[in-house]
Structure 1
């Protein structure tokens, strides 16, 4: 009797632990276009503009491979919007989640799960589009929309990893900043802004006065793209942990 009851209790406990997280995910997905539609509309618009520019360039006698477009930031165009998504994910959904009986812990973990799903989806798609663009010679126009910046140089897995890390950073950055507002309101945001600017200026000043910029550049060159985006992923994790610590005492008004 006890042998069969123990697995049953374990299954119930796991179900109770996981269901609140998925409930939060479902709350975020009430309007799926916010996470899964608008970013691709933005990216699709950027691609359309890139193709038009490429078509005009080819008609004007541009080379078969418009290499200068590798420095375009069009592939990163959804990131600015996703910062706002991170803000809205907490600012708009947090009061609703608490109203439905979620705890602050369950809400934050469920939000983190949603961010992981969105980041993985975008990373798979963009890494794949990089390969398609390379295989088609820049969509048969020699353009570089996805095969730009650091993309397309180290294979599909690196493109996936870097996109995944960047997506998590922008989402958690927006979410963590919103928790500060919900906890301390305008005063907290002002302190956060001044503290961030002061820290950045202090680091820049320290590097400048010690004439360490060549060493900093050499260090970044040494760790490569993967190492740099591992730092980005670490910063995303720091925002995630910081946001959780703040939201534990945040209020909805």
Structure 2
């Protein structure tokens, strides 16, 4: 008599579970990008009508509108899905890997959408009113490669950072994200105080690849933190 041992769910299965909610993972993020275009274009029209500068070279509309929701996606990717994933056979390790893979795919989706919108923005001359939304200087000033780099690194960092806060909630309840947030804020303040004297020199020698390194550190630290927190978490 042979015994069949069920195989743990793979990271790909965890990704499929995440995208079982297409509204959260696809529809709403894309709608936010489109809304940023509409709102910014409306602001340009309003400024132009009152004699203001309609160009809005650097407004950060996409960055500020999408980052908060992307962090929320990361939180929900862990807090909402973890119990169900384990019930369906995922191990904590495969779940963490699946969350990271989800972050990579979601980042690719948002980056591809932003790139497509940049193309439309160029074709329409700034959405017919001279608006620079995807061509904003915070997103590379219209450079497609820069946009890809900024959007992919920004969204990947935000998603994985949200995941570690979701893991803190799973592990410690409501006080977990609170304590984690306070600890990170305190660490950021101390770092700013220590590094403040070097800001002037750093600004003179700054290289864009520093941001890529910083994003890599955030992704790696968040993934390790998520795995560590989930290792001792109780499924509720």
Please tell me whether the aligned partners of residues 171 and 234 of structure 2 are also in contact (alpha carbons under 8 angstroms). Answer: yes
CA drift of 1:155 comes to 2.7
Residue 167 of structure 2 is aligned to residue 179 of structure 1: yes
* Equivalent residue, structure 2, for 1:73: 60
Picking from 202, 209, 234, the partner of 1:216 is 202
Please tell me whether the aligned partners of residues 175 and 243 of structure 1 are also in contact (alpha carbons under 8 angstroms). Answer: yes
Summarize the alignment of residues 1-12 of structure 1 with structure 2, pairs less than 5 Å apart: none
CA distance in 1 between counterparts of 2:35 and 2:120 reads 18
* Equivalent residue, structure 2, for 1:119: 107
Secondary structure at the counterpart of residue 137 of structure 2? coil
Deviations along 1:108-167, one digit per CA (max 9) or x if unpaired, are 111211111110111122133224323432122111111113324373222112211111
CA distance in 2 between counterparts of 1:212 and 1:129 reads 38
Secondary structure at the counterpart of residue 70 of structure 1? coil
Picking from 72, 76, 100, the partner of 2:88 is 100
Deviations along 1:37-90, one digit per CA (max 9) or x if unpaired, are 101112222222222233344455666xx33x1221211212111111111111
* Equivalent residue, structure 1, for 2:211: 228
Alignment CA distance shift 1:53-1:201 (3 Å): closer
* Equivalent residue, structure 2, for 1:30: 20
Larger Rg: 1
Q: Unpaired segments of 5 or more residues in structure 2?
A: 1-6
Q: TM-score, normalized by length of structure 1?
A: 0.81
Alignment CA distance shift 1:181-1:107 (3 Å): same
Aligned length: 229
> C-alpha root-mean-square deviation of aligned residues, in Å?
2.2
* Equivalent residue, structure 1, for 2:3: none
Secondary structure at the counterpart of residue 207 of structure 2? helix
CA distance in 1 between counterparts of 2:155 and 2:180 reads 22
Alignment CA distance shift 1:57-1:188 (3 Å): closer
Picking from 202, 211, 219, the partner of 2:190 is 202
* Equivalent residue, structure 2, for 1:4: none
Secondary structure at the counterpart of residue 150 of structure 1? helix
Alignment CA distance shift 1:186-1:59 (3 Å): closer
Please tell me whether the aligned partners of residues 82 and 171 of structure 1 are also in contact (alpha carbons under 8 angstroms). Answer: yes
Q: Unpaired segments of 5 or more residues in structure 1?
A: 1-15
CA drift of 1:194 comes to 3.1
Deviations along 1:8-58, one digit per CA (max 9) or x if unpaired, are xxxxxxxx68x6222211111111110111011122222222222333444
